[in-house]
Amino acid sequence: MRTLTLFCEQCNKTVIRRPANIMSHVFCSQSCSAIYHRPKKYIKVNCKQCNIELPLQSKRKFELNNGNFYCSCACRLLYRRENTKLIKTNCGQCGKEILKKKHYFKQSKSGKVFCGRRCSGVHFGQNKTTGTQVSKFELFVQKELISIFSNLNIEYNNSQTIKSELDIYIPELKLAFEINGPTHYKPIYGQERFNKTIKKDLEKKKNCRKLKIKLIIINTSFMRDGFSEIKSKPFLKKIIKAINKRSAAFAAPPLRDSKTDYLTAKLSPSI
């Protein structure tokens, strides 16, 4: 009887079959057939050093290894040696000489590396060209004012009225608030940036005076150890008091809604 020599489609072993027994797929055993027809949970991987294609790996193994596979121990050692080698360079902000690993340069979008988080923050703060920076304190104030004065039109980060950004602006009362952090009082991001900030603050005051808008400055520069709701309540209380006083001067209807006990329950005791 005539026979044919074939290869198992799963393990590539030699299989001898009669022509009459050849199906669409050829396997050496039922287990190979089951593995072949099992839903594919394997991923193609390459050696991270020399990029040679490696045998398929399971998704679980791929995730456990974070996609790090090598064709040999030599490739693994070579890759680690190259990527853990310290390179001498200068901090992108202060110019201090530092040693950094190769992967820091690959991860950096700006192509610069820094000696620490402070220098990194200062650099990107100075070179920020788009967008607005909204602090956690500002977000907290916005949330609380919306809940207290729900029937009052309050605009946040308005830059149309005086052609400069106002943190909080109430058109009905001609009242605006500026929440100033430490960057408005200290040259944290350099003297040049500080001078520009002072100039902008003076322009805001001048423009508000022209349009008869009352501008109130909320100085949060002495809020230490970061943001917390407890530390923010005195500032919020000051803003609420100013809004109620201004609304009384404008003979406006009561602006507070059903939350009448807000100041006594939520803001007391004052800290």
Instruction: Return the higher-pLDDT residue of 209 and 131.
Output: 209
Q: How confident is the model at residue 74 (pLDDT cuts 50, 70, 90)?
A: confident
**Helix, coil or strand: residue 215:** strand
pLDDT for res 176 = 92
pLDDT for res 15 = 83
The interaxial angle of helices 136-148 and 229-249, nearest 10 deg, is 50
Q: How far is CA 164 from CA 157, 189, 204, in A?
A: 9, 21, 7
Q: How confident is the model at residue 131 (pLDDT cuts 50, 70, 90)?
A: very low
pLDDT for res 38 = 67
Instruction: Return the higher-pLDDT residue of 220 and 37.
Output: 220
Positive or negative, the Cα torsion across 132, 135, 136, 137? Answer: negative
pLDDT above 50 (res 196): yes
Residues 50/53/56/60 CA torsion (nearest 10 deg): 30
Instruction: Return the higher-pLDDT residue of 17 and 202.
Output: 202
Q: Which CATH superfamily is domain 136-265 in?
A: VSR Endonuclease (3.40.960.10)
- Segment of 15-24, 88-97, 101-110 carrying the highest mean pLDDT: 88-97
CA 29, CA 39: separation in Å to the nearest integer?
18
CA 209, CA 259: separation in Å to the nearest integer?
33
Domain locations in the chain as residue ranges: 4-78, 85-126, 136-265
Percent of the chain with pLDDT over 90: 13
